[in-house]
């Protein structure tokens, strides 16, 4: 199975992580909930729900960390009966991003943390500079979220793709 | 803060050519205790060696060979050795010049401490 991405620069780092860490699901998103890339999900509604939850958990954990420790928690881990979840913040020169992954017995928290560090380095190196004159607009947030999901699942081509081909691979 | 594995690790690190030794959780790949030389990426070694040991244990069981008693990986730049028990793994990282026979004996004797 391959990763699916809404922005092409996400693909190589995310695919490396998935191949190395042997996780079940992976999701890279902007803190506003806008998805950048995913692995393992088959339905847009699941990606949308996971993005909303991950963004909420990250924001809550950040504030909780500030209250308790004076600085936000940057990594969270939860162990379920069969699956485990890891949420971490990817720091880039442009924005902080949120990364969520779920894994089972084929991987481990130690492996996920090791390859998450490698993913963060690759993402930080690959992230493009924000286009001049294109700040995030709160009024277009919902449209941006919907557009990212549509690109991710191949319903529309990514922005700037004149040839109409999608960066999503399957 | 001292751990119950401090003495075990201290005895292993004294062997000639040993670069580091660690006690690692087999399931999570996290370091429980470690005694490593400067420059050894202990968290990376721990996660990958624990995964390697776990796979070897499962492969041995699947092949009907029983429990893994001693795992040795020989590489161009040295050795990684592992023994495990009760969900914990002792991992030793050694240079090529290290006397693996002595290290193996010490590790097998130390595995009793993993309870």
ipTM of the complex: 0.87
For residue B17, is it within any domain?
A: yes
- Using CB atoms and an 8 Å cut-off, which of residues 23-82 of chain B contact chain A? 24-25, 27-30, 43-44, 46-48, 50-51, 54
Predicted confidence at residue A163, as pLDDT, reads 39
Q: Closest residue of B to A107, CA-based?
A: B51
Q: What is the CATH number of the domain that holds B89?
A: 3.30.450.30
Residues of chain A with pLDDT under 70: 131-139, 141, 158-170
Range of the domain at B35: 6-113
Range of the domain at A87: 4-128+145-152
For residue A117, is it within any domain?
A: yes
* Average pLDDT of the residues in B79-99: 95
pTM for the structure as a whole = 0.84
**pLDDT one-digit tens code per residue, B30-75:** 999 999 999 999 999 999 999 999 999 999 999 999 999 999 999 9
CB A104 within 8 A of CB A24: yes
Cα A11 to Cα A90: distance, rounded to the nearest angstrom? 15
Predicted confidence at residue B2, as pLDDT, reads 76
Residue that has been written with the tokens 């959780």 in this structure: B25
Q: How many domains does chain B have?
A: 1
Q: CB-based contact (8 Å) between A108 and chain B?
A: yes
Longest dimension (CA), chain A: 51
Q: Closest residue of A to B26, CA-based?
A: A108
Predicted confidence at residue A167, as pLDDT, reads 41
For residue B35, is it within any domain?
A: yes
Cα A7 to Cα A167: distance, rounded to the nearest angstrom? 7
For residue B1, is it within any domain?
A: no
Q: What is the CATH number of the domain that holds A56?
A: 3.30.450.30
Reference A107, options A131, A130, A79; nearest CA is: A79
CB B9 within 8 A of CB B33: yes
CB pairs under 8 A between A and B: 31
For residue A165, is it within any domain?
A: no
Strand ranges in B44-101 using DSSP code E only, listed in sequence order:
71-75, 78-85, 88-94
| Cα angle value A26/A31/A32 (rounded, 5°) | 115
| Cα angle value A101/A103/A109 (rounded, 5°) | 85
Q: b/e string for B60-99 if b means 16 or more Cβ within 10 A?
A: eeeeeeeebeebeeeeeebbbbbbbeeebbbbbbbeeebe
Of the residues B48, B61, B84, the best mutation for testing chain A's interface (the one with the most A CB atoms within 10 Å of its CB) is B48
Count CB neighbours of A1 within 10 A. Answer: 8
Predicted confidence at residue B4, as pLDDT, reads 87
Burial class from Cβ neighbours inside 10 Å (0-12, 13-18, 19+) for residue A93 reads exposed
Tell me the backbone φ, ψ of residue A87, rounded to 5 degrees: -125, 130
For residue B51, is it within any domain?
A: yes
Q: How many domains does chain A have?
A: 1
pLDDT higher for A131 or B112? B112
For residue A39, is it within any domain?
A: yes
């Amino acid at each position: 199975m391959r990763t699916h991405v809404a922005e092409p620069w996400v693909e190589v780092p995310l695919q490396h992580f998935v191949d190395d860490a042997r996780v079940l699901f992976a999701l890279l998103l902007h803190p506003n909930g806008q998805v950048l890339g995913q692995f393992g999900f088959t339905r847009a509604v699941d990606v949308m729900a996971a993005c909303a939850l991950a963004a909420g958990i990250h924001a809550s954990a950040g504030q909780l960390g500030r209250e308790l420790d004076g600085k936000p928690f940057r990594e969270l881990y939860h162990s379920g009966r069969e699956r485990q979840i890891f949420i971490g913040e990817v720091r880039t020169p442009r924005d902080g991003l949120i990364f969520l992954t779920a894994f089972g017995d084929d991987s481990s928290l130690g492996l996920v943390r090791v390859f998450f560090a490698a993913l963060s380095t690759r993402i930080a190196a690959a992230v493009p500079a924000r286009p001049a004159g294109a700040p995030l607009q709160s009024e277009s947030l919902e449209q941006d979220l919907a557009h990212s999901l549509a690109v991710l699942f191949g319903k529309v081509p990514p922005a700037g793709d004149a040839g109409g081909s999608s960066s999503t691979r399957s | 803060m001292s751990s119950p594995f401090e003495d075990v690790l201290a005895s292993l690190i004294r062997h000639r050519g040993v670069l580091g030794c660690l006690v690692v959780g087999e399931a999570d790949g996290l370091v429980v205790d470690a005694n490593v030389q400067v420059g050894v990426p202990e968290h990376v070694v721990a996660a990958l060696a624990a995964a390697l040991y776990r796979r070897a244990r499962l492969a041995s069981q699947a092949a009907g060979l029983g429990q893994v008693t001693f795992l040795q990986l020989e590489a161009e730049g040295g050795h990684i050795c592992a023994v495990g028990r009760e969900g914990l793994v002792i991992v030793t990282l050694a240079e090529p010049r290290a006397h693996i026979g002595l290290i193996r004996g010490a590790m097998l004797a130390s595995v009793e401490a993993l309870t």
